[in-house]
Amino acid sequence: MEKLIITAAICGAEVLKEHNPAVPYTIEELVREAKSAYDAGASIIHLHVRWDDGTPTQDKGRFKEAIDAIKKEIPDIIIQPSTGGAVGMTDDERLQPTELKPEMATLDCGTLNFGGDEIFINTENTIKYFGKRMIELGIKPEIEVFDKSMIDMALRLHKRGFIQSPMHFDFVMGVNGGITGELRDFVFLRESIPADATYTVAGIGRFEFPLAVAAIIDGGHVRVGFEDNVYLSKGVLAKSNGELVEKVVRLAKEFGREIATPAEAREILGLAPLS
């Protein structure tokens, strides 16, 4: 079985210090949390950025500042900027970090009701635009799916040349408005992707660790972090992203999965090795 790639989604665009005081906003805090996750076993940092007051932004300059600072501390880490941004941002605003030509970036493949009046909009034309941009810039997309229909969209656009093989999916499960985090639904998504595709599972809230176990056993990969869940166990706040990664490492050892280094993750995902 392949080694386990652990992605740490260290801050997201919605979670606040009010939810957990360790949620990072500043560049220094982002570096601290990225380092804690890397030291614990993460090989990918899924990155959103904020202004110092916690306001989410897709500003290219802020991303560059964060990426440079993280890379200075952790040269071999894979940094995967989000192109999801926050609800209400324009396509071009969301795409700003791709101008920095990261190894990977996220590609959301459908529209979702986030609750209340918030709608996370990804039209077919938006997805095609993002996919084409990533191909032009040599960026591997992580295909974010919040429901089965988003896998179907990705497969249709793959046939039309907007997403290249081998595809890498992230099953985001348990979000309000999306598919639940039940094992039944994990199996449904897992059986819906091509045989040559890889996948990561991001369980939201209480689904984080049960779905991590499912992915570990199945041979998939795992995402954890403050973006998805701020608790180490019921009622116990995690002190860092590293604590969440450490728990996945312990679970992986119980089931005999070794942890991938960044170099091994690059090989598994078909990324170019660092020069």
The pLDDT value recorded for residue 144 is 98
Cα 120 from Cα 260, distance rounded (Å): 32
With residue 147 as reference, give the H or E element that holds it: none
Query: Tokens representing 270?
Result: 């078909």
Cα 115 from Cα 113, distance rounded (Å): 6
Q: Domain limits of the chain?
A: 6-269
Residue 273 phi/psi, 5-degree rounding, is -65, 155
Bridge partners of residue 8, in order along the sequence: 45, 224
Question: What confidence category does residue 197 fall into, taking pLDDT thresholds of 50, 70 and 90?
Answer: very high
* Contact between 265 and 48 (Cβ < 8 Å): no
- Burial letters 185-214, b for 16+ CB under 10 A, else e: bbeebbeebeeebbbbbbbbeebbbbbbbb
Q: Is a pLDDT exceeding 90 seen at residue 85?
A: no
**Per-residue pLDDT tens digits for 146-177:** 999 999 999 999 999 999 999 999 999 999 99
Q: Locate tokens 């896998």: which residue?
A: 151
Q: Is a pLDDT exceeding 90 seen at residue 275?
A: no
Bridge partners of residue 236, in order along the sequence: 233
Q: Given phi > 0 = left and psi -120 to 50 = alpha, else beta, which region is 206?
A: alpha
Average pLDDT over residues 246-268: 98
The pLDDT value recorded for residue 154 is 98
Q: Where are the alpha helices (DSSP H) in the chain?
A: 27-40, 60-73, 91-94, 124-137, 148-159, 183-190, 208-218, 241-254, 262-269
Question: What confidence category does residue 72 fall into, taking pLDDT thresholds of 50, 70 and 90?
Answer: very high
Tell me the pLDDT of the chain averaged across its residues: 97
Average pLDDT over residues 122-134: 98
- Cα–Cα–Cα angle for 153, 193, 167, rounded to 5 degrees: 80
User: Does the domain at residues 6-269 carry the CATH identifier 3.40.50.1860?
Assistant: no
For residue 273, cis peptide bond before it (omega within 30 degrees of 0): no
Task: Give the amino acid at 262.
Answer: P
Residue 83 phi/psi, 5-degree rounding, is -105, 10
Average pLDDT over residues 195-203: 98
Calculate Rg over the CA atoms of the chain: 17
Average pLDDT over residues 171-186: 97
Report pTM.
Answer: 0.98
